[in-house]
Amino acid sequence: MMTTPLILIALSCDKTPPAATADTDPALFVADVNRKMDELYRENSEAHWLHETDITDEHEAAAAASDEVLMAYQTAMVTEATKFGTVADPDVARSLHLLKVNQVLAAPSDAEKRKRLAELSTGLSSTYGTGKWCPEGQECKDLGELEDLLAHSRDPAEQLAAWKGWHDIATPMRPDYVEMVGLANQGASEIGFANTGELWKSGYDMTPPELEAEVDRLWKQVEPLYEALHCHVRAKLSEQYGPDVVPPTGPIPAHLLGNMWAQDWANLYPMLVPYPDEPGLDVTQALVDQGWDDQRMTKTAEAFFVGLGMPPLPDSFWTKSLFLKPADREVVCHASAWDFAVKGDLRLKMCIRPTYDDLVTLHHELGHLYYDMSYQDQPNLFRNGANDGFHEAIGDTIALSMTPTYLHGLGLLEQTSESQEAVINEQMQVALGKIAFLPFGLLVDRWRWEVFDGRISPEQYNEGWWRLRAEIQGIAPPEARDESTFDAGAKYHVPANTPYLRYFLAHILQFQFHRALCETAGQDGPLYACSIQGNQEAGARFQQMLAMGSSKPWPDALEAATGQREMDASAVVEYFEPLMGWLAEQNEGRQCGW
């Protein structure tokens, strides 16, 4: 008689549902992934920080090993996540989606291939970071020295030598890049994407075809601005160098635009200033004359964000960042902001010089760090921009408030002027950076999309690169370039495998953000004259969006900041309205286009 209750109890226990685990519960699985990703990101960031701030074979190997560990974990977790199928909880479902699409290089499941992909990726970055041009009988020149030469020289032979010297450092990368593309495509196919380009295009809360159509729509909104600027700059360069060097029609030779990649033409401003007797925005000489150093420049950028109601940067930022190029070791000087997945550990890596361009860049890079700080309480998979264009746009939005009045307040401009001539000068200087950049921001990933999907074969890398540069940018190589070279690799983001569409989108979004924040600040008058400096109401609206990270689709974040759910380039057109009118007058009688 005693056995019956025991049997009943045993049967009852058998029917009790097992406790949920990360193997069966997608919410617990996501929580485990977030914890582990924090740990791996910290280790990976430390390894890459050491590699980029002290380039040695040992540090390169350590960074590659760390990449391999991170890739292996991500690959395994993406595979694991597929077992959950459709998930009802929207936060969990979004986390699983982001786990899949947030990889830049999806590693193959095969351990040897995964290791090789990590080695190739890190090695390409090292080749770029240690690149130098060593002309016979002269001291070797690094990228910074060559950029200075292009910025200031107006000798086409000297400019060509510098341009060619740097672009040739990328030639050895070519076979490794070809191999890397094959391995990355294999990894992407294993997690359900046709190729790595399709993986990249899937991270924008829309399908790849929808994204491409959206990008085309935005480009059509701003293309007339670029064509007008291109037409005027080409005419002035033809006057400067003669029609044999710069024909008055067709593409512009790439080495004559004051920038190694012809992506930013701001260094041509002294040649192109519309009204030389009126003030402009370039305060480089004032920075030098007043002895501004790296710390003062960085603290000035920080003060802008603090004035909007945001907290100061953590103390560790000032002790752990790299602000100047060291004399005792090789470093990657390309400016970048670093979030180490540890609350409060944010760093800057930049070889700061006392120039107006670097002052603007500091506002841009600190924009990344303030975004990082704003969403630091989100779980790992949500600690990112609403899309990658958002992250790039934040600091540039702030930089649009670096008006003459702001620079005058810093003591960097002796006087300001509200004359129409001064406005045209200021707009020309801004446009040579921002409008000139737009097609380059578009074409770098267009090239990679075609490389990844095979439309551009390894035997056509250079031909495809210059075809797109001619079609979209109206830029030509300064000399014949064949397939023995790898000119795309001379741009940091290609060997570093950094998706580039983000910069095109950022150049649209920053003006859209700027217009909305100016309205919030109650600013009257033209958009180009607005500065939100010190306006905490605008700062609060901005922070509302920043704190969301990538927890919601980007239209939700865009709506929080602007009230709109669609990216819109009309603010770019509105901002540059005075310059467009002036350029139309200048271009009368010229044959524009290429």
Could you tell me which residues come within 8 angstroms of residue 361 by beta carbon, excluding any fewer than 6 positions away? Answer: 335, 350
Amino acid type, 555? P
Residue 479 has pLDDT above 80, yes or no: yes
Non-local (6+) Cβ contacts of 220 within 8 A are none
Query: Tell me: the pLDDT tens digits for 66-114?
Result: 999 998 999 899 989 988 988 999 999 999 999 999 889 999 999 999 9
Looking only at the bridges linking them, the beta strands covering 252-253 and 346-349 are unpaired
Q: What is the pTM of this model?
A: 0.91
- Taking the C-alpha atoms of residue 233 and residue 228, their distance in angstroms, rounded to an integer, is 9
State pLDDT tens for residues 517-567: 999 999 889 999 999 999 999 999 999 999 999 999 999 999 999 999 999
What pLDDT is recorded for position 61?
Answer: 94
pLDDT in tens, 211-226: 999 999 999 999 999 9
Does the structure show a pLDDT above 90 at 22? no
pLDDT confidence bin for 10, thresholds 50/70/90: very low
Q: pLDDT by residue (tens digit) across 265-285?
A: 999 999 999 999 887 778 999
- Which amino acid is it at 281? L
What are the helix and strand counts (H, E) for the chain? 24, 4
* pLDDT recorded at residue 414: 84
pLDDT bin (cut points 50, 70, 90) of residue 18 is: low
Q: By the 8 A CB rule, do 532 and 538 touch?
A: yes
Separation between Cα atoms, residue 463 and residue 482, nearest integer Å: 7
- Rounded to 5°, the CA angle 399-403-404 comes to 145
Q: What are the sequence ranges of the domains in the chain? A: 26-202
Checking if the pLDDT of 250 tops 90, the result is yes
- Of 294-298, 328-332, 346-350, 474-478, minimum mean pLDDT range: 328-332
Helix (H, G, I), strand (E, B) or coil at 200: helix
What average pLDDT score do residues 239-259 get?
97
CB crowding 36-64: b at 16 or more within 10 Å, else e: ebbebbebbbbbbbbbbbebeeebbbbbb
pLDDT score of 13 more than 50: no
Alpha carbons within 13 angstroms on the beta-carbon side of residue 250 total: 11
Tokens of 1: 């008689």
557-586: average pLDDT: 97
Give the mean pLDDT of 309-324. 97
Q: Is 506 left (phi over 0), alpha (psi -120 to 50) or beta?
A: alpha
Radius of gyration of the chain (CA): 26
User: pLDDT by residue (tens digit) across 28-67?
Assistant: 999 999 999 999 999 999 999 999 999 999 999 999 999 9
The number of C-alpha atoms within 13 Å of 54 and in the hemisphere containing its C-beta is 7
- Quote the Cα angle for 303-396-97, to 5°: 110
Give catalytic residue positions: 334-335, 364-365, 368, 392, 493, 503
| pLDDT beyond 50 at 2 | no
State the pLDDT at residue 19: 66
pLDDT at 23: 82
pLDDT at 147 over 70: yes
The mean predicted confidence, pLDDT, of the chain is 93
Say if residue 4's pLDDT is above 50. Answer: no
Q: Residue 430 corresponds to which tokens in the numbers above?
A: 């801004």
- Of the chain, the percentage scoring pLDDT greater than 90 comes to 89
**In the Cβ-directed half-sphere of 253, how many Cα atoms lie within 13 Å?**
23
Pairing of strands 336-339, 346-349: antiparallel
- pLDDT score, position 268: 96
**Those residues with Cβ within 8 angstroms of residue 32's Cβ, 6 or more apart along the chain or in another chain:** 22
d(CA 55, CA 125): 10
Closest CA to 205 of 553, 490, 558: 553
Percent of the chain with pLDDT over 70: 97
Residue 481 has pLDDT above 70, yes or no: yes
Query: What confidence tens digit (pLDDT) does each residue in 493-509 have?
Result: 999 999 999 999 999 99
- 209, pLDDT greater than 80: yes
Give the pLDDT band (50/70/90) at residue 417.
confident
